[in-house]
Amino acid sequence: MNAAAQHQPSQPKPPRPPRPPRPAKRTGPAQPRTAPAEGRIAQVIVASTRAAAGVYPDRTGPLIDTWLREHGWLVLDRAVVADGEPVGDAIAAAIEAGLDLVVTTGGTGVSPTDQTPEQTRPLLDRELPGIMEELRRRGTASTPLAVLSRGHAGVARGRTVVINLPGSPGGVRDGLGMLADVLDHLVDQVRGADHTGSTAGSATASTTGSTIRSTAGPTALGTHPTDPHQTSPDQEVQHGH
């Protein structure tokens, strides 16, 4: 090859086609797996002085939030408040806002600071004692301490269902398993729906509840103190929570 051929300039490469734009990154919270069930709105209220002060992690509120979203509820920001009157104020505010469901966790035991039942009861127009009876019955399969839970369940202003759950992860899982069997039908009844199709709905809910209990694992319904928000870390380890 002669020198002229060696120094001949190379042909320019054709331009690359433009890349397609990348999809925008999701910056907001993850969307629920299903659309909100007919606009049903719920809020979780955590009763724990130490969690409200930031010295104790909130272990039960996120469990309830996640469960509600997975069952099609639109869940408002969780309220973490100190025991006592702040619990009643938070429940009252949720009722005033016309929410369909308020679930509290914590403060249902018998320690001096456990005041959730006392803050809840005056706000209820109609009580649902069977819900708490069933929750305690299920809890005693894991620990006799479940009978010490003093929570209430009922309806406020004819539209808002209020339910007190214990403050331990095990107690909350017991409660969610129970709510899977009755919550949809309960809310429909509060809204004035008739009983048509209640048998089929109960069968579906029961299956859902069984799935939750079975996938929670053998330790999910294990022993739990009445309210671990009021126990020492050593006691929590001892009880498996």
Proportion of the chain above pLDDT 70, given as a percent: 65
**Are 240 and 223 spatial neighbours (Cβ–Cβ below 8 Å)?**
yes
Whether residue 15 lies inside any domain: the answer is no
Whether residue 14 lies inside any domain: the answer is no
Whether residue 22 lies inside any domain: the answer is no
Whether residue 23 lies inside any domain: the answer is no
Alpha carbon distance 47, 49 (integer Å): 7
Whether residue 29 lies inside any domain: the answer is no
Domain containing 123 equals 35-238
Note the pLDDT tens digit of each residue in 29-65.
333 334 445 689 999 999 999 999 999 999 999 999 9
Whether residue 3 lies inside any domain: the answer is no
Note the pLDDT tens digit of each residue in 208-235.
343 333 333 332 323 333 343 443 333 3
Whether residue 104 lies inside any domain: the answer is yes
Note the pLDDT tens digit of each residue in 2-32.
555 555 556 666 666 655 444 333 333 333 3
Residue closest to 80 by CA, chosen among 116, 55, 45: 45
Whether residue 145 lies inside any domain: the answer is yes
**Ramachandran area for residue 111 (φ above 0: left; ψ -120 to 50: alpha; else beta):** beta
Note the pLDDT tens digit of each residue in 107-146.
999 999 999 999 999 999 999 999 999 999 999 998 899 9
- CATH number for 80: 3.40.980.10
Number of structural domains found in the chain = 1
**Are 231 and 241 spatial neighbours (Cβ–Cβ below 8 Å)?**
no
